[in-house]
Amino acid sequence: MRWSVELAAPPAGAPLVTPTVVVLPLSNGTIAGHRRRDGRPVWTAELSAERPLAGDDQRVYVASGGAVHALQLDSGAVVWRTDLGAKPTARPLAHAGWVIAAAGGQLFALRGTDGKMIWRSPVGLVEARPALDGDLLIVSIKEGWVRAFDVQTGASQWDYHVGAAPGEPLALGGRVYVGTSDKVFLTLRASSGTRESRRSLGGVPQGQAAADDRHVYFAGMDNMLIAIHRAHGGIEWRQGLSYRPAGGPMLVGDRVVVPGYYVSSLPAFAARNGSRAGQVTFPEQLAVLPVFSRHDDQRSVVIGVIGDLTNRWSLTMLEALLVPVVPLAPLTTVPGELVPLPFSLEP
């Protein structure tokens, strides 16, 4: 264990991990900043987070009270506030200098440095965090649409009717990956919205998919982790889970981990072929989604909130100690030589 600090109140959401500070919303209506190096509390802001936090290397963005609030990462001071006119309905997206928010059936593009509203557009109900790849902004609309916008201008690029509520999209490498509430996983062409593949599943995909150079990974509410090929969409491997996924898969080096609520151990799977590759174990049950990251020494770490029936909660950083994947040697490499038997086995 790298460090563990007791919290003043139960968590109200997952931690936001930045290069210098770990930020956590608490159920007492505050946001707490902890120094990433050792977990020491460094600031507290009197603000209630109504949606999961977003952030970059300078600010943390809090959706609260019909507005987006930007807090200075090193002090927790409010540096700007932009009114949205309604309660935010989705986690904000903070990426490449943009803050994208949704409220009251509208989409808002804000400048991260000062909160200036660059554009807004009526889109319908948005409950999933959008995705941004270059200048292409991908938005899932609960009424059954995936829409693409030019993030610079707000101009509509294309839309695709999925027929059911789409989840959080992943936009990467010229493709858009998204699951839907009718147990379908879609791959769309980012340039046009044309469907490339459609796969029926045994459960609703949970959270955002993850991807590496070869695979796209997603977890379903049927307790299955599935890897498909990025190019042709065929299933490469699948693995069952002993718990209900609480979010999308997370890549930890060459392993895949699926978060879960109220579990103390998370299995890891080799990204290459899905074989078991160790596990991450917490001393107590997880209360919110954990976050995997790299520490200052480049070791993989996991940060989460643990608690028990005594209503004591701790923000904890552990090393993500995963058993190395050891490939099985082919039988031809076993030491020794083949010796013929001196007798026949025939009757």
pLDDT digits (tens, 9 = 90+) for 14-50: 999 999 999 999 999 999 999 999 999 999 999 999 9
Domain annotation covers residue 50 = yes
Res 248 pLDDT > 90: yes
Q: What is the pLDDT of residues 264-291, one digit of tens each?
A: 999 999 999 999 999 999 999 999 999 9
What is the C-alpha separation between 268 and 107, in angstroms, rounded? 37
Domain of residue 55, CATH code: 2.40.128.630
The pLDDT of residue 341 is above 60: no
Average pLDDT, the chain: 92
User: Could you tell me which residue, 297 or 177, shows the higher pLDDT?
Assistant: 177
Sign of CA dihedral 190, 195, 196, 198: positive
Q: Would 48 be classed as within a structural domain?
A: yes
Count other C-beta atoms under 10 Å from residue 86's C-beta: 13
Average pLDDT over residues 211-230: 97
Q: pTM (2 decimals)?
A: 0.91
Looking at the domain assignment, is residue 301 inside a domain?
Answer: no
Q: Is 24 contained in some domain?
A: yes
At 23 the three-state DSSP class reads: strand
For residue 206, tell me if it sits in a domain: no
Nearest to 205 by CA among 162, 252, 247: 247
Tell me if 281 sits within 8 A of 264, measured CB to CB. Answer: yes
**Residue 54 domain-assigned (yes or no):** yes
> CA-CA distance, 174 to 190, in Å (whole number)?
5
Which pLDDT score, from 0 to 100, does residue 344 have? 35
Phi, psi for 210 (deg, rounded to 5): -125, 160
Cα–Cα distance measured from residue 290 to residue 286, given in angstroms and rounded to the nearest whole number: 8
CB contact at 8 A, 67 and 61: no
Contacts of 230-234 with CB under 8 Å at 24 or more apart are 230/173, 230/175, 232/197, 233/187, 233/196, 233/197, 233/199
Quick one: CA torsion of 37, 42, 48, 52, rounded to 10 degrees? -10
Q: What is the mean pLDDT of residues 205-214?
A: 97
pLDDT above 70 coverage of the chain, percent: 92
Structure tokens at 168: 């959080």
Number of compact structural domains in the chain: 1
Note whether residue 339 is domain-resident: no
Examine the pLDDT at 106 and tell me if it is beyond 50: yes
Q: Does some domain include residue 41?
A: yes
Q: For residue 321, what pLDDT is reported?
A: 67
Domain that holds residue 75: 1-86
